[in-house]
Structure 1
Amino acid sequence: MHLHQLTLYDFRNYADVRLTLPPGLILVTGANAQGKSNLLEAMALLAYGQSPRTSHESDVVRWGATAARVSGEVIHGTGEFGLAVAVGQHGPRQLRVNGNHVRRLADYVGRLPAVYFGVEDLALVRGAPAGRRRFVDRLLSQLSPRYFLSLQQYNKILQQRNAWLRGLGEGRRHDPAMAEMWREQLSTVGGLIIAHRLRLLHQLEQWTIDAHSIIVGGPQAVQMQYAMAESETVPTAADATAHLAELLERLAPRERARGQTLAGPHRDDLLILLSGKEARRYASQGQQRSLVLSMKLAEVLLLRAVKDEAPLLLFDDVLAELDQDRQNRLVEAIPADVQTVITSTEPPPAVAGRRMYRIWVQDGTIIRQAAC
């Protein structure tokens, strides 16, 4: 599978751009602040239906324009299909597949599997739990529409439950029946999410172990563990709903006092261990970066295996942040059938001598394209 054609209209600093992209390695070069990252953001938006760089959709609309549009043609094993995303200054985002309107994001995500790797992702291991949850959620959402729908449903229930809890602190009478209703709803949907995450980790851990041995040049003990907030134990996938319900019941007095939900998928974490120790606390920066590269490579390999199609891989200025050895090992490990797009001010040494398609960007304009 590869993205064959890409069209941008009033997207960031691009007024009107049309590209025909080959499979294989694509290098996007240009000075800083010329639009390299914007081009990759557009590709990620086309794949995910939402930007990986901003939570405010209207940010992608070019200054002075009323709406941005990104569309593309994707070639896969049995043919091709079209995708399009339109984002306005006001009003909801619009998604289309083969020209047909798609109402739910869950029915759009995963059609073009993609792995986006930005500089901020280098903090995946040492950063806050929210980044690791986002990593897991994005991967699972591309694998399972049901998971994505459960995630949306959970966030809606969580928002409503928190509003109810805050109301108790403002003098609203505590109703045990209402408390039970919210606990049951949250634990049912939250349990589904936790079960999906636990099953994913069993697969992701092995892919990460294999990828890590490539990145560092030999085997090391890498483990992934799911950590539930406010719980010393982690249930099996089958027991996740019951475990969360019991946890919420135990936390009920504290939640009423705090006015917020203290346990659930929104507060859980993914622990990465290296040689039996938590990497976030005890691994060096170099070791942490090797783990991040391994996790992102594992994401590519897992999507490729489950989808039976090679995903789109997007490197946004990441290689420049890596030493030469890690650059080389990472690029060498990418399967040949994975369309890989790299942004950089200059060609990274790791891609020197490789066959590639190069795109030169200047001030929101594609000034040159050539096979190299």
Structure 2
Amino acid sequence: MYLEHLSLTDFRSYAQVDLSLEPGPTVLVGANGIGKTNLMEALGYLATLSSHRVSSDAPLLRFGTDRALVRARLVRGEQATVLELEINAGKANRARINRSNPVRARDILGICRTVLFAPEDLSLVKGDPSHRRRFLDELLATLIPRHAATRSDYDRVLKQRNALLKSGRAGRFTSGHEATLDVWDQHMAKAGAELLHARLALLENIQPHLDHAYRQLTDGSKAALAVYRSSLVDLADDDATLGFSPGLPTGAQQEDLAHLSVEELTDRYVAAFAASRKREIERGISLVGPHRDDVELILGQAPAKGYASHGETWSLALSLRLASYYVMLDDGQIEGAAPILILDDVFAELDVQRRRRLAAIVAGAEQVLVTAAVDADIPPELSGRRVQVVSGGIDERG
């Protein structure tokens, strides 16, 4: 797959901008703060319906406007698809596929596939568990779009259940509340089991690619491992770490979850909710569920978080993105369905050796879009077309 044309209206700093592209590497060069990342962010948003920079849609709209438009013409094999996404302030976003009638934004998930590398990716290793959960869930929605609804359903049930638990914490918990909580437990157990089952299957597919990618980017002296830490396992009395203990995986319980069906995981959640009910009412929040889980990243024999060097942290973060790229390649059922690779201001953060290794890995992709402040940051392996980004637009140089 490659992006043939991108058009933005009232997106971030752009009142209007159009960019024509072609397969192979393209480097967008321009001063910091000029708008290079805004272009890449728009394409990434079209693929995942979320920004890698902000958690809400409001900053995506040009100041003073109430909507933004992202249009893209994508080519997959012999087929071209035009996607249009309308990002609205204060109401639901809408989309069009090949200029058809408007559909829900999430109906376009899976059509545009991208893998975006950015400085923010350090949070995948150094940040809190929400960053790693989001990594899994976004990749899930790209590979299997119905799982966007799975996550949405879980979040809706979690919100309702937490509201009920807060009532109990305030001293208003009655027998009626108890019966209602039983019902919400069933709903949350089913939604949580579906989400957990999908995450575990995805992580199993990611693991060999993660280790392979890390060895590609480094001298290969350490293995990279990702271990799912579920709040279903080893329920702890310690409120701060309820659900799992930090450190290396030691038992078979975490692995056991991967072999359970959705129905069996549902039963485990129901039992876990019952065991945790008193503490949950006391605290007014749900203490068990996929929203409390983490993916522990390990290099060699030590957890990466807190132990990895800066270079190792960068390599591991990049390896997670490369692993998602390889998983998408494995998944492609249609010729030309490889994802678009986006490297947003990444090379400036890497030493020369890692720059060249990363460039050599991605150079053969169908389309690679790179942003850089100066040409000197780009390794020769990615020599190709250059586009100059200037204030308010672009100046193509062939």
In structure 2, the residue matched to 1:306 is 331
Higher alpha-carbon deviation: 348-357 or 172-181: 348-357
Deviations 1:210-250 (A, max 9, x none): 11111113253222111013335432342422222222111
In structure 1, the residue matched to 2:249 is none
Alignment-derived partner of residue 156 in structure 2: 156
Work out the CA distance in 2 between the residues paired with 1:184 and 1:193.
14
Partner of 1:140: 140
Match of 1:362 in 2: 390
Cα distance in 1 for partners of 2:216, 2:341 equals 18
Distance 2:112 2:393 in 1: 25
> Superposition pairs for residues 259-274 of structure 1, below 5 Å?
259-274=284-299
Assess if the C-alpha contact under 8 Å between 2:215 and 2:223 holds in 1. Answer: no
Root-mean-square deviation over aligned CA pairs: 1.8
Structure 1 regions of 5+ residues with no counterpart? Answer: none
Match of 1:337 among 365, 368, 380: 365
Q: What residue in structure 2 maps to residue 324 of structure 1? A: 352
One-letter identity of the residue aligned with 1:231: G
| Residue 186 of structure 1: aligned partner | 188
Deviation at 1:337, TM superposition (A): 3.0
Partner of 2:29: 29
Aligned match of 1:351: 379
Question: Is 1:275–2:276 an aligned residue pair?
Answer: no
Tell me how far apart the structure 2 counterparts of residues 348 and 196 of structure 1 sit (CA, whole Å): 42
Identical-pair percentage: 32
Q: 1 CA distance for matches of 2:195 and 2:271?
A: 16
Q: 1:28 to 1:250 in 2, by over 3 A?
A: same
* Whole-angstrom CA distance in 1 between matches of 2:64 and 2:280: 46
State the partner residue of 2:74: 74
Supply the distance in 2 between the matched residues of 1:250 and 1:90 (Cα, whole angstroms): 40
Q: Give how far 1:185 is off.
A: 0.7
Instruction: Please give the secondary structure, in 2, of the residue aligned with 1:256.
Output: helix
CA contact (8 A) 1:161 1:261 kept: yes
The number of aligned residues is 370
Rounded to whole Å, the distance in 2 between the matches of 1:129 and 1:70 is: 30
CA distance in 1, matches of 2:101, 2:22: 27
Distance 2:318 2:46 in 1: 23
Structure 1 residue aligned with 2:18: 18
Q: Distance in 2 between matches of 1:55 and 1:17?
A: 24
Q: Which moved more, 1:6-15 or 1:153-162?
A: 6-15
Secondary structure of 2:389 counterpart: strand
What is the CA-CA distance between 1:342 and the residue it aligns to?
Answer: 1.3
How far off its partner does 1:348 sit?
4.5
1:258 maps to a residue whose letter is R
> In 1, Cα distance between the equivalents of 2:361 and 2:221?
15
Task: Give the deviation of 1:179 after TM superposition.
Answer: 2.1
AA of the residue aligned to 1:285: H
In the TM superposition, what is the alpha-carbon distance from 1:130 to its structure 2 partner? Answer: 0.7
Moved more, 80-89 or 346-355: 346-355
Shift of 1:102: 4.8
**Deviation at 1:111?**
0.5
Contact 2:93-2:105 at 8 Å conserved across structures: no
Compute the displacement of 1:355 (Å): 3.5
The aligned runs of 1:82-101 (5 Å cut-off) are 82-101=82-101
**Distance in structure 2 (CA, Å) of the matches to 1:146 and 1:89:** 25
Rounded Cα–Cα distance in structure 1 between residues aligned with 2:381 and 2:265: 51
- 1:370/1:304 Cα in 2 relative to 1: closer, same or farther (>3 Å)? farther
Deviations 1:85-141 (A, max 9, x none): 112334321111111245334321111111122211123112111111111111111
The separation in 2 between residues aligned to 1:187 and 1:144, in whole angstroms, is: 21
Report the TM-score when normalising by structure 1: 0.94
Deviation at 1:360, TM superposition (A): 0.9
- Distance (whole Å) between structure 2 residues aligned to residue 337 and residue 284 of structure 1: 29
Q: CA 1:99–1:276 in structure 2 vs 1: closer, same or farther (change >3 Å)?
A: same
- Unaligned 5+ residue runs, structure 2? 232-241, 245-252
Q: Return the alpha-carbon distance in structure 1 between the equivalents of residues 104 and 221 of structure 2.
A: 43
The verdict on how the C-alpha distance between 1:330 and 1:174 changes in structure 2, with shifts beyond 3 A counting, is: farther
Aligned partner of 1:212 in structure 2 is 214
Residue type of the alignment partner of 2:60? V
Q: Which amino acid aligns with 1:173?
A: T
Q: CA deviation at 1:158?
A: 0.3
Counterparts of 1:319 and 1:53 in 2: how far apart (Å)?
18
